[in-house]
Structure 1
Amino acid sequence: MKKSLKVNLETLQQKAKERTVRTQTVEYDLETIVKKVDKQVIKLNPEYQRRHRWDIPTASRLIESLILNIPVPFIYISQDVDVDDEVEEGIARYSVIDGQQRLTAIFNFFKNDFALQDLEVLETLNGCRYADLPSFLVRRLEERSIKCLRIDSTLDQQVKYDIFERLNSGSVKLEPQELRNATCRGPFKDLSLKLAKLKPFREMSNLTEDSKRLKKMEDVELVLRYFAINYQDGYLQYKGGFKKFLTQKMVEFNSLDSAALLDFETDFVAIISYLKQQNIAHPFAKYRVDKNDTLEQMSTFNVAVFDAAIAFYRESLKRGGANKEFTEIFRDPEFFAAVEGSTNDVKKLVTRVSKAIELARK
């Protein structure tokens, strides 16, 4: 073990150097923080707010803690644009890596968006908005400071994602796509949010407005999964670690030009429209062969089946339409095994996608 470590010492030193996080502690009073958010110097991600937002009592307790000078955790921000760089007005210099809910609650309260509720210590303030506070409490809040740990702008997106994931220890854990949404900014992210809203796509994926899966941004992750697996045969590039694979693909897609992203949108919309024309209630459902040799539906949606079905219908559309029923693929024991158990296994992903494409070509 020691000999191996000595041999690989140079590689280890290089990796440690590349992955070392450079940080700086800064402290802002709340009045300054609100102004920075207002000017979009610090970006509060609107898509993230919509999916996971504190309720008013929870936000109220934070405001109460700030008034009482009770310590609150650090806010972690990423410096995305150097302070000396000239950028257009409205371009965020910082993105929030941890502390999104706290900053949102502070900003919304300062903007009179909600009245305090369920306070236990300062119960006389229940029902008060920011504008209703006595002047001494306004001053106290405006001058109250919060410490921020600023992460250097030179870090790549994957490191930023890793930091966010390690800091993700709140009462409501963030899902992988929520982490990507907060850390992997770019035009593909905007496109994936747009495509995920397509009503037929959500219906086919069994995603209702009150679905927990929707709140976890599974709709957006499915869009990313669609392109990660199918664009330039991405499924053949997969070597393991599916979360990291999707994150790397999202970073890669964010660097594509507008023409390439327009092709992405055209491709996705065409497949969803084609699937809608097939009038299949649950195109991503899982089936099994029962004792009477008939296909029995096991679910309304299965993500591993989604991978295969999308590959099948994309290939079919290229050839002018499907000549086979996709559900017949479940009669193949190897395919069925590839949508069972640890479905992010490399061999299983390659098997189910390649078999789906092969069926479409027959």
Structure 2
Amino acid sequence: MSTLKNNLEAIQQKAKERTVKTQTIEYDLETLVKKIKKGIIKLNPDYQRNHRWPDAFSSRLIESLILNIPIPMIYISQDVDVDDEVDDEGARYSVIDGQQRLTAIYNFFEGKYALKDLEVLSELNSSYHSDLPPFLTRRLEERTIRCLRIDSTVDTQVKFDIFERLNSGSVKLEAQELRNATCRGPFKELIKKLAKNSKFTEMSKLTPDSSRVKKMEDEELVLRFFAMTYGTGYSSYKGQFKKFLTEKMEEFNKLPITELASMEKNFLDTMELIHKSFGTKPFAKYRATEASTEEMSQFNAAVFDAVTYAFSTLGPNKELLHEDFINLFKDAEFFESVEGSVNDVSKTATRIRKAMEVIK
């Protein structure tokens, strides 16, 4: 208790800083659909996965709305203040929690699916929105949904925390999906572009239809590269890896376009040089045996850290032998640094230091 008393001032300050300003608003469905159509409310494709609710699931939501059955509150983030002018797009709000519900509503109003598998209103099965009798159309349009709006002044890290805590969908969003929802800016667009680089995807064993890509692991790896290599890089990492990456993404979004162009060139040059030197499996993980080494996996994020950091410091004409890096796995300290909790601060520093020793 004495420790609590001693920290009282710090607790009060933190509670004050992290208190979130919110406002509860009720929107009728007609208004919500119009705002989504105009792009004012963004059903954010930058963090939305490729899969959606099946039509049967969406249909049951529409049935619930017609029957006035309560549905959970929608959480939205006010990203642009109502009085601010924006040059690039009309989006002022993004959806924190309830994206699938709003998508199901919007798609039905837009005639993208017919109702199916309804049990109470079974007569409506196979009906599109345009098929509904006028009284049901009015009932749907005038049905309201409660929305909790989070104030535009809330900073990015707090919004990320809110997304993570409220992320209650049937399929949880991954950290990078949440970052794409909270960290807007030119760097976000850059990592989306670089994540499609053919040499990077080949070496990282990322195929377009893989679950890793659906979870945006490709984009997170690009962010990881820059977080480790750019500016203070990994030396500024003090723990809480997800938070570290989020802070770096927010920081990089504020960089000038000329700086981002330089970062893009470094990434592409690094991937080119790694591919030229090590071929298609530079980020594989190995285990030392009595005779030599054996491959454990074709891709390992911790090995990715070590190899990409080392290569990012080289000039284009530097020759490196893949064998020298594979021999690192015979070093017990290096092997331990790519095992288990690989985002541990000391393990991160160790594997990069060991990789740098190879190229010196």
TM-score range, shorter chain: over 0.9
Q: Distance in 1 between matches of 2:332 and 2:278?
A: 27
Q: Distance in 2 between matches of 1:219 and 1:103?
A: 27
Q: Distance in 2 between matches of 1:115 and 1:90?
A: 31
Residue type of the alignment partner of 1:303: A
Residue type of the alignment partner of 1:262: A
Provide the residue aligned with 1:16 in structure 2: 15
- Partner of 2:282, secondary structure, is coil
- Partner of 2:313, secondary structure, is helix
Paired residues of 1:308 and 1:352 also in contact (CA < 8 A): yes
Q: Distance in 2 between matches of 1:233 and 1:322?
A: 25
- Partner of 2:138, secondary structure, is helix
Structure 1 segment 1-362 matched on structure 2, within 5 A = 1-2=1-2, 4-88=3-87, 90-278=89-277, 280-292=279-291, 294-317=292-315, 320-322=318-320, 325=323, 326-361=325-360
Residue type of the alignment partner of 1:189: K
Q: Distance in 1 between matches of 2:334 and 2:299?
A: 16
- Partner of 1:33, secondary structure, is helix
Q: Distance in 1 between matches of 2:24 and 2:256?
A: 36
TM superposition shift of 1:323: 5.1
Percent identity for Structure 1 against Structure 2: 63
Q: Which runs of 5+ in 2 are unaligned?
A: none
- Partner of 1:298, secondary structure, is strand
- Relative to structure 1, the CA distance from residue 10 to residue 313 in structure 2 (aligned partners, 3 Å threshold; closer, same or farther) is same
- Partner of 1:296, secondary structure, is strand
1:219-252 per-position Cα deviation (integer Å, ceiling 9, x unaligned): 1111111111111241111101111111111111
- Relative to structure 1, the CA distance from residue 89 to residue 211 in structure 2 (aligned partners, 3 Å threshold; closer, same or farther) is closer
TM superposition shift of 1:319: 6.0
TM-score (norm 1): 0.94
- Relative to structure 1, the CA distance from residue 120 to residue 202 in structure 2 (aligned partners, 3 Å threshold; closer, same or farther) is farther
Q: Distance in 2 between matches of 1:55 and 1:116?
A: 11
Q: Distance in 2 between matches of 1:322 and 1:232?
A: 25
Judge which range, 303-312 or 122-131, deviates more: 122-131
1:225-280 per-position Cα deviation (integer Å, ceiling 9, x unaligned): 11111112411111011111111111111111111111121111222222333362
- Partner of 2:46, secondary structure, is helix
Q: Distance in 2 between matches of 1:143 and 1:334?
A: 65
- Partner of 2:104, secondary structure, is helix
Q: Distance in 2 between matches of 1:174 and 1:143?
A: 31
Q: Distance in 1 between matches of 2:290 and 2:89?
A: 63
- Partner of 2:356, secondary structure, is helix
- Relative to structure 1, the CA distance from residue 299 to residue 71 in structure 2 (aligned partners, 3 Å threshold; closer, same or farther) is same
Paired residues of 2:286 and 2:297 also in contact (CA < 8 A): yes
- Partner of 2:75, secondary structure, is strand
TM superposition shift of 1:110: 1.2
Q: Distance in 2 between matches of 1:319 and 1:198?
A: 21
- Relative to structure 1, the CA distance from residue 323 to residue 89 in structure 2 (aligned partners, 3 Å threshold; closer, same or farther) is closer
TM-score (norm 2): 0.95
For these two proteins, the number of residue pairs brought into alignment is: 359
- Relative to structure 1, the CA distance from residue 299 to residue 24 in structure 2 (aligned partners, 3 Å threshold; closer, same or farther) is same
Quote the RMSD (CA, aligned, Å).
Answer: 1.7
Q: Which runs of 5+ in 1 are unaligned?
A: none
Paired residues of 2:74 and 2:146 also in contact (CA < 8 A): yes
- Partner of 2:47, secondary structure, is helix
- Relative to structure 1, the CA distance from residue 51 to residue 225 in structure 2 (aligned partners, 3 Å threshold; closer, same or farther) is farther
TM superposition shift of 1:340: 0.8
